[in-house]
Structures are given as structure tokens and as C-alpha cells.
Amino acid sequence: MGTPDLVPRPRSVTATGGAGFVPGPGTTLDAGPGTEDTARLLRAALGAATGLPLPPPTASAAGSGDGGGGGGGDVIRLRVDGAVAAALGPEGYRLEVTADGAELRGGGPAGAFWATQTLRQLLGPDAYRRAPLPGRARSLPPVRIEDAPRFAWRGLLLDVARHFTPKEGVLRWLDLLAAHRLNVLHLHLTDDQGWRLEVARFPRLTEVGAWRPRTRIGHGASTLWDERPHGGFYTRDDIREIVAYAAERHITVVPEIDIPGHSRAAVAAHPELGNTDVPGLTAPGVWTDWGISPDVLAPTEEVLRFYEGVLTEVLDLFPGEFVHIGGDECPRDQWRASPAARERAAELGLDGVDGLQGWFTRHFGHWLAERGRRLVGWDEILDGTPGDGADPGPGAVITSWRGYGGGIAAARAGHDVVMCPEQQVYLDHRQDGGPDEPVPIGYVRTLRDVYAFEPVPPELAGTAAERHVLGAQANLWTEAVEDQRRADYQAFPRLAAFAEAVWAPLGARDRADFEGRMDRTHYARLDALGVAYRPPSGPYPWQRRPGVPGRPVQGPPPVR
């Protein structure tokens, strides 16, 4: 028997020979301290797929096996193990299957959880179904696995501002991330086209800002419109549920509230946030088009207080360390046309209005740091002179999207970095150059291209700055991605390739081997999960969208 088709590929997989383990009605699930939540999730998932109850062992059997193995048979044993933590870190794990059962030891609760995701893959694609299929054999192969991730930040950005993903859809994404051992969901909650987070002290943000009257179909030169209103938002309890659901799966949810650009939906709800003294400017509505709106926040103390109020509620809802404030694509035209903005820049001692973005960033970087959080921003927040834009506050993290350059500069300056270059891992970009790709956007980024993505560029590899690369994330923007089916198509199977790129050790990737594992087994797992992925042979007829213009970019993407 060969090694199993696991995705992402573990660090070490050894087929040990002999008989595997066949779980049955008498199989117990023995969860040690720190693994109780993971055991509950595993019992629910495998119970649904197999019909097995997997009860806890009796009191006399539960204590066995806490040393170096052994104990009673017919058991799946979960443990947190200090020796594993010392060797592999808190997300590392060791998993061994024998004829008597399976033993899963994590360096921490997260490691134990990732071990269960591997165990589920070992059971075969039917382990991802919600009811047992009659007459199907189920067994675990005899195997020994030692595994740990290469990077601590392994993420996906989901843009829910352009096209809203209902709460149930977000929970589904969390399950898909967990199945691929990804551990960050970056939620892009606000933009010109919609505000998706309920803020109790400012109800108009969702009463007005969460809804737009119509939506452009396609991109670029498209003249097609969907005349139905589009929108939606997450209540505070929705967010609490999403965050708790993610935490059970050892996934961090990073909220993004855009400041000071990409703010038209907020200004539509509260016109006083905008640059109201610009001659001829009228109060805008929520934007119905794509691209970059010229509407930006006014550089006033009142706007700072407003967003401090917003972020106070964000901190209450999202307990994680990181809060993203956007900071990308901020036009300066309204500031240049605003007498108040020009005066404000002079009062602050800035070299013109271009320094106002850095002023916003510095304020919220320090504000968040005072509350024990870390600002995250797109690489533009480091643009400008040292006094105007290069001080995002203590502990700031840079998400490098305009290529590798911003991340390289940030790491060399001592900032932590998450690599997500548009040219490599933007999943809204088209997957093929042919005419059948639906609403073709950006560069051609095939499954093989994403698999070849390397988060650490040569300029940082082997240098002291390399340690600042926390990891990477793939970004799925939704201007041309209107629903779950389209999102599935854009994300998969490329997200599986990305997961291996950020999990597997440097030098351990093998593209042909990966494609073989996908073909033999992993596409069947995605089928069982109900994922409407792009087939390797090209889109099905119902996945195409003939006649809907996109915004393709010709030629190979630059590496910069």
C-alpha cells in the first residue's frame, strides 16, 4: 500500500505495513485535556459520515495510552503532548494508525485539531458526507505521520463588501479552510459598494450603507446592469457566531474596516464623514460601480472619533490580535479640492494633503496598540516620506498586494508581513486564457501557477528579515463573483494548491505528485463537500458566462 493522497502534503508520511484500522460500533474516542472541543467536532463529523457513535471510553480504559502509546484497542485517542510541541510547535502533530486504532498527538490544541483533519482525509472522500452511504467500507491505512506548518499565517481574504456572503456561507468557508489546514479568514467588511457590519451606535451604516440600488454585471466596459437592489450585513450576534465557529476550528477572523479610502458606503450613510466643503460635491449614494470611488474620509477630529467608536465595537466582537484598516487605493483629489483638508494638513505640519493618509494610519495604529491589538494594512500605508506615511504604529503588519516589493521593504524595515501579491495569488483572476472563462479578470493564474507560489522572495530568503514573513494569504475579490457557486469556481482547486504552498516545508513540493493526489482523491473530497470547483478540463457549460465583459490583463504577470 502506498502513501495516502493527503492535501496539503504532510511533512513526513510513512506507510507502516500490516493491517489498517477499521472503526466500528465499538470504537471509542478518547479525548485528553485540551482536546475536548476537537473531539466534539470530530465525533459530529465522523458520526454523520459513518453513522458510528464514537463514545468516550469507560473510566478504566480512558487513562491508558497517555504515555508513549499502548493502551486498549479499538480507540481513536487524542492528546496534547509537550514532546510534540517541543519538536514541532503548537500546530504540529503526530498521527499513527495501527490495527488497534489511531493515536493523534498535537503540540497544542491546534495541532490536535489539524491531526483530526488529516485523519478525516485518511478515511476517504465519503468522510466529508453528511450521512453514511450504504455498503461502503471504511478503514484507516496503517501509517505514521509527522507534520507541522511552514508558516503561522495561512489565510484567505473573502470580500463580502462587493457581493455579500450570508452568514451560512461564511461558516461554510470556515469548514473549507479547516479541511485544508488554513487558519486565517480575512473578512473585507466595508468598501465603496457596501458596509456589512452592524454597529450599534451608528445604525445608519447598515440601514443605508449596506444596500445599493443596482449592480454592474461584469467589469470594465460592461454595459450590463442588474437592476435589483443588492446588500446585506452581519448582525453583532452573527459575528459572534462566526468568530466562535472559527475559534473552534483554530481559525482567526481578521476584520477589515477601510480607512480613509474605499469609504463611500460609510459617507453615503453619514455625509458628515466626507469632504463636504469641496465645491460642487453632493452627498453620494452607495456606489453601484466597480473600481475606486473618489470619496474619502475628511481629515477631522470628528471623523477620528466616529471611527474610534466603530473600532471599539469591532474590538468587542473580534477578540483576535489583528485588525485590518485597509489603507489602499486612496485618491487625494477631494483633499486637494477641500480648503478644510488643505488647512488641516498645514496644521499637522504635513507636506501637503498627500500626508493625510499617513496621519490616519498613525493615529489608528497607536490607538489599536494602546488596546493590545495590532494594525494590519495594505502596503500603501508605508508609502510617502518618513513623516507622512512610513510610521503605521507599533507592531503593524503589512499585507503586500502590489507584488513582493512592498513586503520586501516592510520586512527590511522591521515590520511583519503577509504576502498576497496580486500577480500570484488573487483568486478572482482568471484560470485560463481561453474564451470560456467566466468574466475574465486580471492575469492568467493556473492551478500550477498558484502551486508554484513562494511566499518568501529571493531578496529575503536567508536574511535576518525573512523572519518577518508571517506567511501568506490568497485573496478572493468579488466584483465579478456574485454568489457561492461563482466563488467556489474561482477558489477551487487553486485554494488547495495555495494551502500546500503555505503548509509544506520549503523544497518539499512536487507538482506532478500534487496533481496526482488531486486527480485520484482530492477532487472526490471536494465533490463530497459540494464544492463547485473548476474542472481540470475547463469550465462546464453552466460555469461559463458568455457575453459578460471582464477586465483581462494580457501577458505573463510581472514578479516585482
Residues taking part in catalysis: 329
* Look-up of cell digits 474542472: 535
User: What's the CA gap between 2 and 14, in Å, rounded?
Assistant: 9
Task: Supply 436's cell numbers.
Answer: 470560456
**Kind of pairing, strands 184-188 and 153-159?**
parallel
| CB of 439 closer than 8 Å to CB of 489 | no
User: How many other β-carbons are positioned within 10 Å of the β-carbon of residue 373?
Assistant: 21
Peptide bond into 539 cis (omega under 30): no
User: What's the CA gap between 424 and 559, in Å, rounded?
Assistant: 8
User: What's the CA gap between 93 and 89, in Å, rounded?
Assistant: 8
What are the beta bridge partners of residue 252?
184
The CA-based diameter of the chain, rounded to the nearest angstrom, is: 80
* Look-up of cell digits 502506498: 2
DSSP assignment of 300-367: SHHHHHHHHHHHHHHHHH--SSEEE----S---HHHHH-HHHHHHHHHTT-SSGGGHHHHHHHHHHHH
User: What's the CA gap between 43 and 61, in Å, rounded?
Assistant: 18
Dihedral pair phi/psi, residue 160, rounded to 5°: -100, 0
* Look-up of cell digits 443596482: 214
- The residues, any chain, with a CB within 8 Å of residue 198's CB and separated by 6 or more, are 205, 206, 233, 234, 235, 236, 238, 239
Dihedral pair phi/psi, residue 525, rounded to 5°: -65, -45
442's enclosing H/E stretch is strand 441-442
**Kind of pairing, strands 93-98 and 143-147?**
antiparallel
Task: Supply 374's cell numbers.
Answer: 495590532
| CB of 188 closer than 8 Å to CB of 161 | yes
What are the beta bridge partners of residue 21?
140
What letters, b where the CB count within 10 A reaches 16 and e where it falls short, cover 434-446?
eeebbbbbbbbbe
- The residues, any chain, with a CB within 8 Å of residue 83's CB and separated by 6 or more, are none
* Look-up of cell digits 477586465: 551
Task: Supply 193's cell numbers.
Answer: 459598494
DSSP assignment of 111-137: HHHHHHHHHHHHT-GGGGSSSPPTT--
What are the beta bridge partners of residue 254?
186
